[in-house]
Amino acid sequence: WIQALLLAVGALGAFMVLVGALSPPPRRTGTQPAGPFVSVIVPAKNEEAVIEATVRSLCAMDYHDTGGPRYEIMVVDDGSTDRTAEILKSLSLALPVKIVRTPPGSVGKAAALNLGITRARGDLIAVCDADARVAPDFLLRMVASLAGSEAAGAQSQRRLYNAGQNLLTRIQDDEYRLFYRPLQRARQVLGGMVSFSGNGLLLRRDVLQEVGGWNDEALTEDIDLSLRFHLAGYQIRYCEEAVVWEEAVPRLRDLIRQRIRWFEGAMRCLGDHLPAILFGRVNFFKRLDMLSFLSGGLIVTLSLLTTYLYGVVDATGAVVLYIQLPRKLTTWTSGLITTGVLLAMLVELRGRVWEIAPVLVRSGLFSLHRLVVVPLAIHRYVRSAITGHTIWEKTTHGVPVPPREHDL
C-alpha cells in the first residue's frame, strides 16, 4: 500500500508540475493606481542582521495617490533580545514605520500577527517576513491581482537572494524555481489549493477575521490559514508577477530545524482539518490536492525507508514475505512520473538541458534529509499531543546579500 500511495502522490505531483510548467506565466501588464489602504505587517524576533534592509525596501514601495502613501508599515517586535529594537527605533525617526511590541515573553509569529491586526488600519493586510525584499511596484501588482476577482487573498512568487551561497542554498533555489513555482501555477489553473507561503502575501481583512485570524497554536500558520480560507469557500490567487526575495537557509542545522517544523506543522494541519477536508464543500481536485500536500512528505519518507529495507532483504538473501505491486505497473508509472518531471524541469529551465543533471543530483542528495526530519517531526508531534507543549523554532536570518537589481 505504501508503493501504491507513493505512485499516486508522485503521479499527481508530476502531473501538476508539468501542467504548471506548460501553463504560460502571466504577462507583466501595466499596474493600476493605488487602491484600498494596505497595512503591511512584519513580525520580527532577533532580526538585527536583516530588519533594516527590509524596512527600507518596504518603505520604498510605490503605492501612493495624490494624498500620499496608501499603505503603512508595521513591525511587530516579538520580544527581541538583540539590537532589533534599537535599529527599529532609529529607523522610525527617519521612516514612516510603526513599531508594536508584544507583551513580555515570546508569543510566536501567529500571535504577533494577530496583535498587529488590532493596530492595523488597512482593509487589506500584507505580511512580509523580516528578511523580505521587494520591488517598488510590489503592492501595486498584488492589489491588482485581487481587483475584479472573487479571491480573498494572494500569494506572491518567492525567490532567494543568496541562492548561490553554497550547495544548500542552491538546492532550496531548485525547489522554489522548479517545483514550488509551477506547482502554485498549476493549482491556480486546475482549481487546487493555492496556498499562502508566510512571506509576501496579501489578504482581505474581513475574511481573515471571519475565519478567526491566525491560529496561535499552528507551527505553519500560513498553511493552516490557507486551509481555512479554502474550506470556508474563498479562493487564493498566485500572483507570480509580484516577487518577494528572501534568504535561503545556508546552514544544515538551521535547515533541518526549519523542515522539522514544516513537517510537524503539516501533520498538525492534517489532524486538525481532516474531517473538513474529507467532508467539506470543496471540489474533488482541491480535496485531493490538500491530502497530497499535507501527507506527501510522510509517504515519500516511508517509501524511501521501505526501498532501503527491500534492498537489504534482497542483498542478504533473507526470506521475508511482502507484497509488491506488479512490476510492469510500477515500471510504467515510475517512467511516466519521471518523464513528466523531466519535461517540466526542461520547460522551467528554458531548454537548458545541461542544468538538469546537476539539479537531479542535488535533489537526490537532499531527499535523504527526510530520513532525519520526518522521524523527528513525528516524535515532536506525538510528544506535543501528549504533553500539550509545542516547540516553535523560528528560521534564523542573517546573510547580508542583496538581490540583484535587474531581477526585481
The one-character DSSP state at 317 is T
- Residue 28's pLDDT is what? 61
- Residue 406's pLDDT is what? 40
Tell me if 194 sits within 8 A of 184, measured CB to CB: yes
- CA 323 to CA 11: how far, in whole Å? 21
Same-domain check for residues 129 and 204: yes
- Residue 177's pLDDT is what? 93
The answer to whether residue 65 scores a pLDDT higher than 60 is yes
Mean pLDDT over 298-306 rounds to 66
**221-225, 277-281, 338-342: which range is least confident on average?**
338-342
Domain for residue 165, yes or no? Answer: yes
For 66-79, write each residue's pLDDT tens digit: 878 999 999 999 99
For 158-185, write each residue's pLDDT tens digit: 999 999 999 999 999 999 999 999 999 9
Enter the C-alpha cell of residue 309: 529495507
- CA 142 to CA 332: how far, in whole Å? 42
Domain for residue 24, yes or no? Answer: no
Q: State the total domains in the chain.
A: 2
**20-29, 142-151, 326-335: which range is least confident on average?**
326-335
Tell me if 177 sits within 8 A of 184, measured CB to CB: no
- Residue 307's pLDDT is what? 60
The answer to whether residue 283 scores a pLDDT higher than 90 is yes
* CATH code: domain of residue 156: 3.90.550.10
The average confidence (pLDDT) of the chain is 87
Mean pLDDT over 393-408 rounds to 59
Stronger pLDDT, 209 or 104, i.e. the higher one: 209
Domain for residue 87, yes or no? Answer: yes
Same-domain check for residues 195 and 68: yes
Domain for residue 62, yes or no? Answer: yes
What is the full DSSP assignment across 70-82?
Answer: SEEEEEEE-S--S
- Model confidence at 407, pLDDT cuts 50, 70, 90, reads very low
The one-character DSSP state at 53 is H
- Model confidence at 289, pLDDT cuts 50, 70, 90, reads very high
- CA 369 to CA 366: how far, in whole Å? 6
175-178: long-range pairs with CB below 8 Å, 24+? 177/348, 178/344, 178/345, 178/348, 178/349, 178/359
Domain for residue 260, yes or no? Answer: no
Same-domain check for residues 346 and 216: no
The one-character DSSP state at 233 is T
Domain for residue 255, yes or no? Answer: no
Same-domain check for residues 321 and 179: no
Same-domain check for residues 102 and 210: yes
The answer to whether residue 285 scores a pLDDT higher than 70 is yes
The answer to whether residue 319 scores a pLDDT higher than 80 is no
Mean pLDDT over 187-196 rounds to 95
Query: What share of the chain has pLDDT > 70, as a percent?
Result: 87
Same-domain check for residues 222 and 297: no
The answer to whether residue 85 scores a pLDDT higher than 90 is yes
- Residue 257's pLDDT is what? 93
The answer to whether residue 130 scores a pLDDT higher than 60 is yes
Same-domain check for residues 310 and 217: no
Residue 115 is part of which domain span?
A: 38-249
Same-domain check for residues 11 and 42: no
Enter the C-alpha cell of residue 159: 525567490
Same-domain check for residues 173 and 57: yes
Q: In what order do the strands lie in the sheet with 71-77?
A: 97-101, 71-77, 38-44, 124-127, 201-204, 151-160, 235-246, 133-134
Mean pLDDT over 296-300 rounds to 73
Q: Where are the alpha helices (DSSP H) in 232-369?
A: 252-279, 284-316, 327-348, 356-367
Q: Are strands 38-44 and 124-127 parallel, antiparallel or unpaired?
A: parallel
Domain for residue 143, yes or no? Answer: yes
Enter the C-alpha cell of residue 26: 502571466
- CA 62 to CA 45: how far, in whole Å? 27
The answer to whether residue 265 scores a pLDDT higher than 80 is yes
Phi, psi (deg, nearest 5) at residue 47:
-115, 35
Same-domain check for residues 231 and 291: no
- CA 289 to CA 9: how far, in whole Å? 9
- Residue 408's pLDDT is what? 43
Same-domain check for residues 189 and 54: yes
Same-domain check for residues 227 and 329: no
- Model confidence at 19, pLDDT cuts 50, 70, 90, reads confident
Domain for residue 276, yes or no? Answer: no
**52-56, 288-292, 313-317: which range is least confident on average?**
313-317
- Residue 368's pLDDT is what? 84
Tell me if 130 sits within 8 A of 175, measured CB to CB: no
- Model confidence at 364, pLDDT cuts 50, 70, 90, reads confident
